[in-house]
Amino acid sequence: MTTATAIFPNPLRWALGLWRDQKHRGTIIQIMALVALLLFIGIIIRNTAINLQALGLEIGYDFLTEPANYDINQHLIDYNSLSSHLRATAVGVINTALVSVCGIILATVIGLFAGILRLSKNWLVNRIMYAYVEFGRNVPVLLQILLFHALIIHTLPHPRASLSPMDGVFLSNRGFYVPQPVLEPAAWAILAALVIAAALAWWFAGHAKRVQENTGRHYPVFTINAALIIGLPLLAFFLAGRPIGLDFPQLKGFNYQGGMVLRPEFTALWFALSFYAGAYIAELVRAGILAINRGQTEAAYSLGLKPNWTMRLVILPQAMRVMVPPLISQYLGLIKDSSLAIVIGYMDIVATIGGISLNQTGRALECMSITLFIYLSISLGVSTVMNWYNRRVSLVER
């Protein structure tokens, strides 16, 4: 009996033995997970193949070079309805990038202001900012986009009766018309001046640091550099004979000619995204500053540091560590939220390749895979930057 089991071990017991062994159990689970995953992918591929065959479709990306046959009203690169789907996608990517970058800048400005004012001891200002933050965070961003769009479309007048808060700026329900800068050849002088000013400012900052380390003398680096960077290009502008002109919009018929137009869709999306993300950023800023223990301020004060230096040397460097990672997530969220552009007809990635191109060609699989790929690349890029930053600034602890 015993010899028999030794030669032909009970397979069940043998399996149970493997299962009870911690190391082998891990391996078994892994293999099972892998098989399940492969099976799942296999079934999906098979289903898709059968379904596509039934519909007489084939997977292929050739359609990208065919004419798109639709118009896009806002394009920063050449585009017309005869351009390819690929070009339409590029226009979509650029439009997403444009509204995201503008949105991130405006949201940061709004968030910083609102966050700092939220910490103000002034009761009235504090309450107003509180109301803003709570409204911004508790109303769906899609609704905010629609609201801003409705406000622009329904409360602003027709182009003929448009509001003009300052010379050359016209607000109407067809868009915001602003003067467009026109560069003349001599404009390179201004660019050169800017580069020189930046280089000088960089050198001066280094010089000031050396002087301070050697003699203890402090220069007002920020003021001098700001003057340098603004002043030098301004000087060049006048010396070169004002090579930048402005093209003012003018009412011709039912609409404006010339100038630059911010279309209602762009403006609504831009404002709504900034307004929404700004509310979250305001809370980040507030939380970041509050996260710094009161003792830090007291310690700095008791050493004789002035309030503004305490802010710059002690509070901000610490608050930045707390604030930057969630801030970057917020930016990523804003980029993803810009995909809601489609509800008001702003032509971003989703509206071009994921929307009209998809509907016109019926190539859902291809179009969605391209859309997903673009967003995933953006997300991956942003999180790489964030990990790098986190590694760089993480506090050394015992």
Partner 1 sequence: MSAQEKSMSVSDEMMIEMNGVHKWYGQFHVLKNINLTVKRGERIVICGPSGSGKSTLIRCINRLEEHQQGEIIVEGTELTGNLKHIEQIRREVGMVFQHFNLFPHLTVMENCTLAPIWVRHMPKQEAEEVAMNYLRQVQIPEQAEKFPGQLSGGQQQRAAIARSLCMRPKVMLFDEPTSALDPEMIKEVLDIMIELARDGMTMICVTHEMGFAKTVANRVIFMDDGEIIEQNEPEEFFANPKNERTQLFLSQILQH
Partner 2 sequence: MKTVQQQYEVGRHPDLPPPLVERGVVKWVRDNFFSDATSIVLTAVALYFLYKVVPPFVEWAFVDAVWNADHRNECRARGEGACWAVLRARIAQFTYGYYPAHLYWRVNTAFVLLFVALAPLLFEHVPGRRYLLWFSLAYPVLAFFLLWGGLGLEPVESAKFGGFLLTIVIGVTGIVGSLPLGILLALGRRSRLLIVHTISMVFIEFVRGVPLITLLFIASTLLNYFLPPGTYFDLLLRVLIMVTLFASAYLAEVIRGGLAGIPKGQFEAADSLGLGYWKSMRLIILPQALHISIPNIVNTFISLYKDTTLVVIVGLADPLGISRATLADSKWQGLSTEIYIAIAVFFFVSCFAMSRYSLYLEKKLHTGH
Q: Which does 339 bind (CB under 5 to 8 A by kind): partner 2, partner 1, none?
A: partner 2
DSSP 81: T
Tell me how far, at minimum, the Cβ of 285 lies from partner 1, in Å: 18
Would you count residue 141 as binding partner 2 (CB under 8 A)?
A: yes
User: What is the DSSP track for 10-36?
Assistant: -HHHHHHHHHHSHHHHHHHHHHHHHHH
Residues forming contacts to partner 1 in the complex (CB under 8 A) are 212-218, 293, 295-296, 298-306, 309, 313-314, 317-318, 321, 395-398
User: Quick one: the chain helix, strand, coil %, rounded to 5?
Assistant: 75, 10, 20
- For partner 2, the binding residue among 342, 345, 361, 389 (CB under 8 A) is 342
- For partner 2, the binding residue among 17, 26, 245, 307 (CB under 8 A) is 26
Q: Which does 155 bind (CB under 5 to 8 A by kind): partner 1, partner 2, none?
A: partner 2
Give the H or E element holding residue 172.
strand 169-172
Of 18 and 211, which CB lies nearer to partner 1 in the complex structure? 211
Phi, psi of 88 (to 5 degrees): -60, -40
Pairing of strands 169-172, 250-252: unpaired
Of 45 and 227, which CB lies nearer to partner 2 in the complex structure? 45
Tell me how far, at minimum, the Cβ of 20 lies from partner 1, in Å: 44
Rounded to the nearest angstrom, the gap between the alpha carbon of residue 352 and the centroid of all alpha carbons in its chain is 19
Tell me how far, at minimum, the Cβ of 347 lies from partner 2, in Å: 14
- Kindly provide the b/e burial profile for residues 129-159, where b requires at least 16 CB atoms within 10 angstroms of the residue's own CB: beebbeebeeeebeebbbebbeebeeebeeb
Site pattern 354..373 for partner 2 (x: CB under 8 A): x---x-----xx--x--xx-
The closest alpha carbon to 366, from 54, 42, 63, belongs to 63
The CA radius of gyration of the chain, in Å to the nearest whole number, is 30
251, 124 Cβ separation under 8 angstroms: no
Would you count residue 37 as binding partner 2 (CB under 8 A)?
A: yes
Summarize as ranges the residues that interact with partner 2 (CB under 8 A). 26, 29-30, 33-34, 37, 43-44, 47-48, 50-52, 54, 117, 120-125, 128, 134-135, 137-144, 146-147, 150-151, 153-155, 336-337, 339-340, 342-343, 350, 354, 358, 364-365, 368, 371-372, 375-376, 379-380, 383
